[in-house]
């Protein structure tokens, strides 16, 4: 029951705030209006129609005594119209919204003997009622204002109009109050995707405090990233310089097995340094741009084929979205590198929804056990001896870098098992 109720209730802050404001107001107005109509209009109508009933009985008594002239004179003095009812009325005819008309008819039925029916529509502003008097049917026409107060539906119309007006005013007020919250959410979401959009403090005091905290947090994170990038630039230069000297020194030595082994060690060191720097840098300095993700994947597949690897590309052939192309290319190449290192076949599938883009890379390798998949995305995690860097393996940063790139695009990296190929299935989800 609660789940069914949640599915009906609005999900947006606009809808819920309006629900909180409008429902109590409308409920109170309905309760007060119904109680007022029942206690005031019905009783007033009963009293006024009761007075008319006394006058009707007096006129009908004169007619029953056979004094037609006196009855007509009395009816004229009281403001009644008096005539023969042909054909007679046998029901009460009134407008559906005429709530007091029902009370008028019921009071006449109870107070005046011989009541047959009434028509509250045939003559505007008057009540036409028929009474059985022996063999005759007497029809009377009475001013409606003498039998009931102003029609109560006017109160309901006024209540509805007031409710609509107050709801509109509440909506305009809420829109101005909630708009800063939405802008704050958009700025935070964009920052999570690596984008920087301007945000100014607006709205209520609490919203301004939250916005100020967000701006302060964003500034600190950006300063930390900038400081780390500057530091890594210096570290990169300091590390590459001795490696370059080592390579030059080894190039001048005689070519033999020992020199070749040393050159291989220097190449491994250079590769490790590059991976460490790529992990620490995280491509934070790259700006997002509108890119065709399908074309980016095709270029990655072409590069793989030129390197002697075969990759199958499936899914959408065109998908434009804003991302950091170099970072996403690095993530895809990391996943393909794992696929070639531990398997012989690789496949990429691109799909999308309204909010996300999914890049699935599958291979036919041994895969990763379910209980160790969380560990696999940790920095420097090597799950088995095959990942020994001294034997051509990695240093345990490929999946960690890919997961960071996914998070920087507001997405996630999921690891699973390929149903078709039997190896690892890496699902890279990016927010559009």
- pLDDT tens per residue, range 319-359: 898 888 888 888 888 888 888 888 888 899 999 888 889 99
Give 386 or 100, the one with higher predicted confidence: 100
The yes-or-no verdict on residue 255 having pLDDT over 70 is yes
371 burial via Cβ count (<10 Å: 0-12, 13-18, 19+) = exposed
Contacts of 307 (CB under 8 A, 6+ apart): none
Q: Which residues contact 337 (CB under 8 A, 6 or more apart)?
A: 394, 398
For the domain made up of 198-281, the CATH class stated in words is mainly alpha
Which residues are paired to 118 by β-bridges?
Answer: 92, 129
Token pair for 257 = 């097995």
Rounded distance between C-alpha atoms, residue 146 and residue 94, angstroms = 17
Residue 167: the pLDDT is: 75
Would you call 303 exposed, middle or buried from its count of C-beta atoms within 10 A (0-12, 13-18, 19+)?
Answer: middle
For residue 223, the tally of other CB atoms under 10 A from its CB is: 10
CA angle 364, 370, 375 (to 5 degrees): 105
Per-residue pLDDT for 383 more than 70? no
Radius of gyration (Cα) for the chain, nearest Å? 43
Q: What is the mean pLDDT of residues 363-385?
A: 74
Higher pLDDT, 82 or 228: 82
pLDDT mean across residues, the chain: 80
> What is the per-residue pLDDT across 194-210, written as a single tens digit (0 to 9) for each?
677 888 888 778 888 88
Segment 229-233 mean pLDDT: 69
In the chain, CATH 1.10.287.130 covers 198-281
Q: In what order do the strands lie in the sheet with 424-431?
A: 311-315, 346-352, 356-363, 424-431, 412-417
pTM assigned to the model:
0.50
Please, which pLDDT band fits residue 2 given cuts at 50, 70 and 90? Answer: low
As a whole-number percent, the residues of the chain with pLDDT over 90 amount to: 10
**pLDDT confidence band for 394 (50 / 70 / 90):** low
**Cβ–Cβ contacts within 10 Å for residue 369, how many?**
11
**pLDDT computed for residue 5 by the predictor:** 58
DSSP-derived 3-state class of residue 411: coil
* Residue carrying the six token digits 């305009």: 172
Residue limits of CATH 3.30.565.10 in the chain: 285-431
> How many Cα atoms occupy the beta-carbon half-sphere of 31 within 13 Å?
6
Decide if pLDDT at 366 tops 90: no
CATH 3.30.450 segments of the chain: 9-154
Residue 389: pLDDT band (50, 70, 90) is very low
**pLDDT of 234 higher than 80:** no
415 pairs with which residues across the strands?
426
Please list the alpha-helical segments (H only) found in 257-380: 257-281, 293-306, 325-342, 373-376
CATH-assigned architecture of domain 9-154: 2-Layer Sandwich (3.30)
Instruction: Categorize the per-residue pLDDT at 278 as very low, low, confident or very high, splitting at 50, 70 and 90.
Output: low
Instruction: Indicate if the pLDDT at residue 386 is higher than 60.
Output: no
| pLDDT band at residue 387 using 50, 70 and 90 as cut-offs | very low
pLDDT of residue 280: 56
pLDDT attached to residue 367 = 83
* CA distance linking residue 344 with residue 381, whole number of Å: 23
Q: Which carries the bigger pLDDT value, residue 31 or residue 11? A: 31
Percent share of the chain, pLDDT over 70: 84
Residue 193, pLDDT score? 67
Identify whether 87 is preceded by a cis peptide bond (ω within 30 of 0): yes
Per-residue confidence (pLDDT) for residue 350, from 0 to 100:
93
Q: Among 18-22, 135-139, 280-284, where is mean pLDDT lowest? A: 280-284
- Looking at residue 128, its pLDDT comes to 92
Looking at residues 109-114, what average pLDDT do you find?
Answer: 91
User: What is the fold of 285-431?
Assistant: Heat Shock Protein 90 (3.30.565)
């Amino acid at each position: 029951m609660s789940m069914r109720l949640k599915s009906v209730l609005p999900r947006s802050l606009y809808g819920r705030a309006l629900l909180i404001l409008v429902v109590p107001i409308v409920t109170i107005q309905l309760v007060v209006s119904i109680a007022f109509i029942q206690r005031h209009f019905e009783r007033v109508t009963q009293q006024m129609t009761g007075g008319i009933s006394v006058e009707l009985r007096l006129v009908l008594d004169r007619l029953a005594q056979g004094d037609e002239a006196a009855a007509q004179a009395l009816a004229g003095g009281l403001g009644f119209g008096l005539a023969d009812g042909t054909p007679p009325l046998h029901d009460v005819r009134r407008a559906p919204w005429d709530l007091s008309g029902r009370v008028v008819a019921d009071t006449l039925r109870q107070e005046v003997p011989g009541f047959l029916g009434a028509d509250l529509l045939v003559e505007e502003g008057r009540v036409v009622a028929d009474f059985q008097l022996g063999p005759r049917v007497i029809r009377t026409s009475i001013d409606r204002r003498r039998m009931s107060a102003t029609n109560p539906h006017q109160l309901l119309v006024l209540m509805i109009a007031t409710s609509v007006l107050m709801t509109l005013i509440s909506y305009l007020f809420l829109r101005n109050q909630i708009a800063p919250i939405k802008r704050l959410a958009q700025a935070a979401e964009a920052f999570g995707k690596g984008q920087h959009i301007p945000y100014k403090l607006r709205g209520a005091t609490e919203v301004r405090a939250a916005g100020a905290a967000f701006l302060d947090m964003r500034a600190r994170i950006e300063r930390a990233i900038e400081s780390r990038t500057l530091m890594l630039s210096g570290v990169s230069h300091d590390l590459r310089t001795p490696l370059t000297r080592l390579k030059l020194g080894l190039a001048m030595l005689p070519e033999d097995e020992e020199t070749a082994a040393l050159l291989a060690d220097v190449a491994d060191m250079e590769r490790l340094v590059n991976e460490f720097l790529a992990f620490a840098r995280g491509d934070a300095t790259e700006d997002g741009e509108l890119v065709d993700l399908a074309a980016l994947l095709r270029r990655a597949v072409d590069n793989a084929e030129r390197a002697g690897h075969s990759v199958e590309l499936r899914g959408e052939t065109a998908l434009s979205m804003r991302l950091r192309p170099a970072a996403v290319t690095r993530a895809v190449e990391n996943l393909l590198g794992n696929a070639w290192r531990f398997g012989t076949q690789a496949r990429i599938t691109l799909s999308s929804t309204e909010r996300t883009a999914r890049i699935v890379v599958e291979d036919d390798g041994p895969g990763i056990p379910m209980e160790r998949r969380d560990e696999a995305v940790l920095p420097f995690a090597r799950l088995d001896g095959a990942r020994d860097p001294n034997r051509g393996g990695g240093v345990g940063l490929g999946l960690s870098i890919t997961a960071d790139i996914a998070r920087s695009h507001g997405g996630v990296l999921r690891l699973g098992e390929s149903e078709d190929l039997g190896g690892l299935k890496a699902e890279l989800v990016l927010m559009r």
